Structure 1
Amino acid sequence: MKKAEDVAILMSTFNGADYIEQQINTIRAQSYTAWTLYIRDDGSTDTTVSLIRQLMLTDQRIVLCAEPNPVNLGPARSFMTLLAQTEADYYLFADQDDFWLPDKIEKTLNVMRRLNQHDPNLVHTNLSLADKDLNVLVTSFNDVAYDDVQSLLLANDITGCTVMINRQLRELVRQDCDIPCMHDMWLGLRAVMFGNVAYLKEPTILYRQHGSNVVGSTTSKVAKVRTFNSPAEKERLVTTVLTARTLLKRYGNHFSAAERQTLLTLAQLGQVSLPRSLWRIKRNRIYKHSFLATASFILKLTLNYSSLKSNI
């Protein structure tokens, strides 16, 4: 009988006592059982760690990666640190507050197996949005995924808690603990550049929305309009610029001439005048996948350009 692939589930926790036991129990209930859950606590001050230790007594597959002097790294660096320290065939990323559907690992792994395992690969899936009590708000969050370098830079559609990567992608990024964006975006960019990204449009988790989310989602059009010049949108623009600069600096020779022009245009936002940036965006055809989404991006850029110049 073929040996089951070893799957590492990586979870970074921070003050997650409200939901973590329920989340871990959904992992324990998975149809695919050859997994180990590696948890790194990012400096919790509530009962998160004690809850984890209690759960460890009931399941040896739960491992707390304790540190003598834990430091708060933030989610991206915490997840990348866990990834660098863990050996497995495949890796999944788990948030502390979501709800995994019972066949999440199995279905994601089935998609992964269809890819060339000599390549660095990433599989991500659709999700259902739910409120804090797990009442489903939106059944399908993304029916289509746009996973090319430009799309990921402008609007990353890879949600980390749905992601599986293989050992080859892990080896490619294991030294990348200091990254300019969230870990899911970085893993997606590296996979697109050097391997493959696949999307399962079937939801595999309930993505819980509550007041403590580090990264949340909203479906309200009015709410989205109100956020156009919010600190969060300014931060997203800064992330786009810094990530484009990092890609050019580290991997500039990997891209075609047209791709380098796109990266250069995004990397120089805030360094040249707004009219020149808008002209270069049009000339290099830096668009999103609908007229409305592109218009929204241009409006956000225009509203926040002076802030962008002062923050980069």
Structure 2
Amino acid sequence: MIDDYKTAIVMAVYKPNPEIFFQQLLSIKHQTYSNFICFCLSDGPHNGLFTRTSEKIADDRFRFIDSEIKVGFYDNFKRGLSLVTDEFDFIALSDQDDVWHPNNLEKKISHALQTSAELVYSDARLIDEHNKLIAHSLFKYSDLPSKTSKTDILLVNSLFGMSMVFTSRILKFALPFPPKNNVYMSYHDWWLGIIAISMAKVSFLEEATVDYRQHINNLVGSGMQRTAIRKFRTCLRCVVIYPFYPKYSITRYCKRNRLYKDLQKHLMRFNKKQEKLKNLKITFQDFKRILKGKNITLIAFCWLMLLAQAYLGFKPTRKMALRIYRRVKLDRNFMNT
């Protein structure tokens, strides 16, 4: 019986929409698997939201932990995971605005037990703010690989925290989290994925068990890249077909279509990739400190990762950039203009 295994659910909460937040809590409450404790941690004050929600949900399995200090989602998840004790066998991460399918935990824990995997992640459906279905598969919509290898995860993270369940052994090696703003230390799920894939079996459940909510302020893991590319192509077509357009018309067109925001985020993503590759020395010091006395397999993998990046240099970033430019049908020389 999978109910013999106890699971900790960690949710980082920051200024949620009360209705959407409560909808997610209800989806967790009504899971077919019931042996869990859900830790909800606020990132800054919420003006009594936790008190009202606790009374409304009326379930002892939910622990609401308020905080007056804003630390960001990375450190908030770190704080939540540090509350997980040895009594738990599995850990699941949750976003505040998604919706879990009723059998989400049951399927992933069963899959982990059947395959001896220490981290299981699944596909997800993409929905909007009004629960309207956008796409049946998040991975297909975002053009991401569903199965991640040790080399793939060095360049792109396709292990989304909201879809993963992992063992307490993975957590012991992952804590304490490295300082933020280094190569792989901007996202909690990326760090957990690196730890898991370097020392244990990771398995992909080819089924959507979560509804991932896409909204205007949420760009991680969604198909926003595709939307930005589509708008980018439209704007470029406008420039090419109508070269007689005055500059102010093009600027006004871009602003009206929110293209300037999309492109800014797209360019920032490339700049971050370059900054990551420049921070190898800092990363080496962090890994040296973190891995002291840890598993030999993990140490060997991290060394291999650093050597691979040092050898590849800026090539991965350039290759990724060229791939994006090909998708929007731009000449590769556009990069040098």
SS of 1:16's equivalent in the other structure is: coil
Report the AA paired with residue 263 of structure 1. Q
Q: Which residue is equivalent to 1:309?
A: none
The reply to whether residue 264 of structure 1 matches residue 310 of structure 2 is yes
Match of 1:238 among 248, 270, 275: 275
2:24 maps to 1:23: yes
Q: Answer yes or no: is 1:194 the counterpart of 2:240.
A: no
TM-score, normalised to structure 2, is 0.71
Residues 3 and 34 of structure 2 are in contact (CA less than 8 Å); yes or no, is this contact kept in structure 1? no
Mapped contact 1:145–1:199 kept (Cα < 8 A): yes
SS of residue paired to 1:91: strand
8 A contact 1:129–1:138 mirrored in 2 = yes
Q: Residues 287, 187 of structure 1: CA spacing in aligned structure 2 closer, same or farther, 3 A cutoff?
A: farther
Which residue in the other structure is 1:74 paired with? 72
CA distance in 1, matches of 2:268, 2:169: 36
C-alpha separation between the residues in 2 aligned to 1:177 and 1:71? Answer: 20
Answer yes or no: is the 8 Å Cα contact 1:287–1:294 preserved in 2: no
For 2:94 and 2:131, how far apart are their aligned partners in 1?
17
SS in 1 for 2:272: helix
The answer for the alignment partner of 1:254 in structure 2 is: 300
Q: Alignment partner of 1:202: what SS? A: strand
Asked if the contact 2:2/2:106 (under 8 Å) is kept, the reply is no
Q: Report the equivalent of 2:179.
A: 178
* CA displacement 1:82-133 (0-9 Å, x = unmatched): 111212111000100001111100111112113447xxx2111101111111
Could you tell me which residue of structure 1 aligns to residue 109 of structure 2? 109
Percentage of pairs with the same residue:
20
Conservation of the 8 A alpha-carbon contact between 2:5 and 2:90: yes
Q: Distance in 2 between matches of 1:40 and 1:128?
A: 25
Alpha-carbon offset, residue 241 of structure 1: 5.5
Q: How does 1:58-207 map to 2 (within 5 A)?
A: 58-67=58-67, 70-87=68-85, 88-116=88-116, 121-142=118-139, 144-176=145-177, 178-179=179-180, 180-207=185-212
What is the SS of the residue equivalent to 2:228?
A: helix
> Does residue 9 of structure 1 match 2:55?
no
Would you say the 8 A contact 1:99–1:207 is kept in 2? yes
User: 8 Å contact 1:244–1:263 — kept in the other structure?
Assistant: no
Partner of 1:274: none
Cα offsets for 1:9-36 (capped at 9, x unmatched) = 1001010133110110011111111111
> What amino acid does structure 1 have at the position aligned with 2:210?
I
**Structure whose CA Rg is larger:** 2
In structure 1, runs of 5+ residues without a counterpart are 270-276, 306-312
- The residue aligned with 2:248 is none
What secondary structure, in the 3-state scheme, does the structure 2 residue paired with 1:156 have?
coil
Matched to 2:200, the amino acid is: G
Aligned residue for 2:218, secondary structure, equals coil
Report the Cα distance in structure 2 between the residues aligned to 1:234 and 1:55, rounded to whole angstroms: 44
Count of residues in Structure 1 that have an aligned counterpart in Structure 2:
279
**TM score, norm. by length of structure 1:** 0.76
Secondary structure at the aligned position of 2:138 is classed as coil
Secondary structure in structure 1 of the residue aligned to 2:82: helix
Between the aligned partners of 1:221 and 1:212, the Cα distance in structure 2 is 16
Is the partner of 2:205 in helix, strand or coil? Answer: strand
CA distance in 1, matches of 2:56, 2:274: 40
- Listed as ranges, the gaps of 5+ residues in structure 2 are 233-261, 292-297
How far did residue 211 of structure 1 move? 2.2
SS in structure 2 opposite 1:114? helix
Which letter does structure 2 place at the counterpart of 1:43? G
* Match in the other structure for 2:246: none
> Which letter does structure 2 place at the counterpart of 1:246?
T
Maintained 8 Å contact 1:77/1:178? no
Give the whole-Å Cα distance in 2 for the aligned partners of 1:222 and 1:33: 39
Deviation at 1:193, TM superposition (A): 1.0
C-alpha change, 1:55 and 1:218, in structure 2 (3 Å) is: same
Change (3 A) 1:76 1:242: farther
